[in-house]
Amino acid sequence: MVDINHRVGIKAPAEKVYLALTTNKGLESWWTNDVYGAGGVGSIIEFRFNGGGPDFAITQLIENNRVEWTHSGNMPEAWIGTKITFQLCSEEAQTWVRFTHSNWRESSDFMAHCSTKWAVFLLSLKDAVEANQGKPFPNDTQIDHS
């Protein structure tokens, strides 16, 4: 199994970062502008990009500390069986966000694409929380010309 790992530091309390990870409105501020279903453990969040997109089941929530999603549904196929975690850790100057998208079957080109794109979206999360200037889809930073 192969994992994507990232880490950013956000100048804001953990409470504010946690809201951006656990509410439709928060998620719409940095990943995609079309999110439905965020709620408690067991909820299925539907992330949509021009109509299509992945679903994730919320499998763990520790308030202001940890968010875990397990991929749900059939697409994208390479994401089946994968899991996403956001681990928060507050220090005086910032809240650290340790991100993993784990359990990929292989380090394919698509996985490498997603790794770069996750960095882009985590910086969008940082800008959304710090300055209300996230760049969710469809205004996300482009990493290629496809």
Read off the tokens for 120. 């882009």
Instruction: Return the number of the residue (38 or 114) whose C-beta is nearest a second copy.
Output: 114
Instruction: Return the number of the residue (74 or 107) whose C-beta is nearest a second copy.
Output: 107
Tell me which amino acid residue 97 is. Answer: V
Instruction: Return the number of the residue (24 or 85) whose C-beta is nearest a second copy.
Output: 85
* Cβ pair 73, 54 in contact under 8 A: yes
Give the interface with a second copy as residue ranges (CB under 8 A): 2-11, 93-94, 96, 98-100, 107, 109, 111-113, 115-116, 119-120, 122-123, 126, 141, 143-146
* Residue 21, SS3 per DSSP: helix
Instruction: State how far the Cα of 53 lies from the Cα of 55, in Å rounded to an integer.
Output: 7
Question: C-beta of 10: minimal distance to a second copy in Å?
Answer: 8
* Cβ pair 122, 29 in contact under 8 A: no
Question: C-beta of 107: minimal distance to a second copy in Å?
Answer: 5
